[in-house]
Amino acid sequence: MNYQTPRGTYDILPDEIGAWQEMENRIRKITAGYRFREIRTPYFEDTRVFARENDSSDMVNKEMYTFTPGSDSYTLRPEGTAGVIRAFDQHKLYGSMELPAKFYYMGPMFRHERPQKGRQRQFTQFGVETIGVKSPLIDAETIALGIDIVRAMGISSVKVLINTLGDDESRTAYRNALKEYFAPHLDTLCADCSRRYVQNPLRILDCKVDHDHPAMKDAPRLSDYLNEESSAYFRQVLDALDAMGIEYEIDDRLVRGLDYYTHTVFEVQSTRPDSGAQATVFAGGRYDHLVEYFGGPQMSGMGFAIGLERLLNLAVEEGFSVPDTNNADIYIISLGNTGSAPLKIAEDLRHQGFVTEVNLTTRSLKAQFKSADRSGAPFTVILGEEELAKGEANVKCAKDKVQKTVSLEKLAETIREWEKNN
Ligand code: ATP
Ligand code: MG
């Protein structure tokens, strides 16, 4: 039988893992500088955690992996925010944590979409949520954190697109205007847009199929329906970004793929010409009603999620690489009947802090020396029956090409000294 990874999934092989670990380390370090704390929620949740009433997003309507053992219904998490807010409410963290509570998560997400470059069915997101305080400065700080991460990966070719969806009052007014406007065009819009028309007409503006539909151009603009409070809030977000020197473009068609956003929404896109429809590296926004939805108090939150496959791809295109750090410090070769002695000596060396590889096969001396070479170890310990009986071993240093006979008792010590003088 010849099995392959399921469509839209992939293996990260040992040669590739270093880049992932380095990316994860950089992200954690930067995030710690903003005092976010990690939260880990299950990879699946009650389906209702994601499929909320009236949600018109593709993610909820078409892309979920739902399974129904017995009479239960669970869904593999397609995104991180819902699980974090569910946990925030379940454990009443709004009562016990300092507000705003600041969380981050990193791990796999699952969406049943058509796989292509930058779009998988299992992919990895890093995301943050700042919950409990509503402030335009928090919105700006959140965007700054994301930009810092992009920068730390050596990426410079990105742009920030930002928009506001306004508060409930502004959005209701805009929604009604859109309904009136799109009503005569409904029969020429795609089937998804007919659904969006009923559930959330704002999302019609985000349609990838009808993007160039003639009616799109003259659709009403949200900026004309914003009340004063919403405009002022948005202005303050932009002022704070200006103050931090973060450049942005206001894009009044930006509505984002998820339905829970209010006020600030943003997307950070690659400006490289080849990134196409998968140009968005990270995206997020503010949400005013999720905490309440999951049974907590009325509290606002702000967050984003970065697609780590896209982030890493982009970083690699801009020159990100990590050195191979798998080299051994010491390679142990054994000759003749040395029994378990090589293993024991390797253990001792490891406990002394040396990265040690030991030959545990009965291969020829030549083959063993080849492996020693390939391990990158600067020191090779050669254990023969005779030397072993005398409590000794031969040690060869690849750098100065010197070979010495060393007492086993002083093996670690001698190599340590030798290392220092090299
Ligand atoms: P898109 O418009 O590309 O479908 P989205 O609006 O569905 O994105 P979000 O739900 O906001 O994306 O997720 C945040 C980020 O997660 C995206 O900007 C992207 O980097 C990444 N992402 C989303 N879906 C996928 C996927 N199927 N494969 C890889 N990365 C993804
Ligand atoms: Mg999507």
Residue 179 has pLDDT above 80, yes or no: yes
The predicted-structure confidence for 385-406, as pLDDT tens digits, reads as follows 999 999 999 999 999 999 999 9
Burial code of 89-119, b = ≥16 C-beta within 10 A, e = fewer? beeebbeebeebbbbbbbeebbbbeeeeebb
The pLDDT of residue 54 is 63
Give the pLDDT score at 321: 94
| Best mutation site among 310, 311, 313, 314 for ligand 1 pocket (most ligand atoms within 8 Å of CB) | 310
Residue 53's pLDDT is what?
67
Q: What is the pLDDT of residue 47?
A: 96
Q: How far is CA 268 from the centre of its chain?
A: 14
**CA gap 230, 265 in Å, rounded:** 13
Is 70 exceeded by the pLDDT of residue 384? yes
Distance CA 40, CA 77 (A): 12
Average pLDDT over the chain, rounded to an integer: 94
Starting at the earlier edge strand, list the strands of the sheet with 379-384. 356-358, 330-335, 379-384, 392-397, 403-407
Residue 261 pLDDT exceeds 90: no
Ligand nearest to the CA of 277: 1
Residue in the block written with tokens 């406007």: 181
Query: pLDDT at position 166, please?
Result: 93
Take atom 19 of ligand 1 and give the residue whose Cα is closest.
307
| Closest ligand to the CA of 80 | 1
- pLDDT tier for residue 50 given thresholds of 50, 70 and 90: very high
Phi, psi of 356 (to 5 degrees): -125, 130
Mean of pLDDT values over 205-214: 84
Over residues 237-264, the mean pLDDT reads 90
Q: Is the CB of 123 under 6 A from ligand 1?
A: yes
Residue with the nearest Cα to atom 25 of ligand 1?
119
Summarize pLDDT for 335-370 with one digit per residue, the tens: 999 999 999 999 999 999 999 999 999 999 999 999
- Region 291-311 average pLDDT: 97
Q: For residue 100, is the peptide bond before it cis, meaning its omega torsion is within 30 degrees of 0?
A: yes
Q: Does 280 sit in the ligand 1 pocket, CB within 6 Å? A: yes
Does residue 1 carry a pLDDT above 90? no
Please report which confidence band the pLDDT of residue 41 belongs to, taking 50, 70 and 90 as the band edges. Answer: very high
- 3-class SS at 258? coil
Residues near 18 by beta carbon (within 8 Å), at least 6 away in sequence? 322, 323, 324, 325, 326
H or E stretch at 17: helix 14-33
Q: Which of 104-113, 202-211, 230-239 has the lowest mean pLDDT?
A: 202-211
Q: Between 124 and 193, name the one with better pLDDT.
A: 124
Question: What distance in Å separates the CA atoms of residue 137 and residue 238, rounded to the nearest whole number?
Answer: 9
* Collapsed DSSP state (helix, strand, coil) of residue 401: coil
Contact 39, 105 (CB under 8 A): yes
Q: How many A from CA of 280 to the centre of ligand 1?
A: 7
Selection from 318, 160, 138 nearest residue 246 by Cα: 160
Statement: residue 56 has pLDDT above 80: no
The greatest distance separating any two alpha carbons of the chain, rounded to the nearest whole angstrom, comes to: 96
Indicate the pTM of the whole model: 0.92
* pLDDT-wise least confident of 66-75, 164-173, 228-237: 164-173
Percentage, residues of the chain above pLDDT 90:
81
- Determine the atom of ligand 1 nearest the C-alpha atom of 267: 18
Residue 264 β-bridge partners: 164
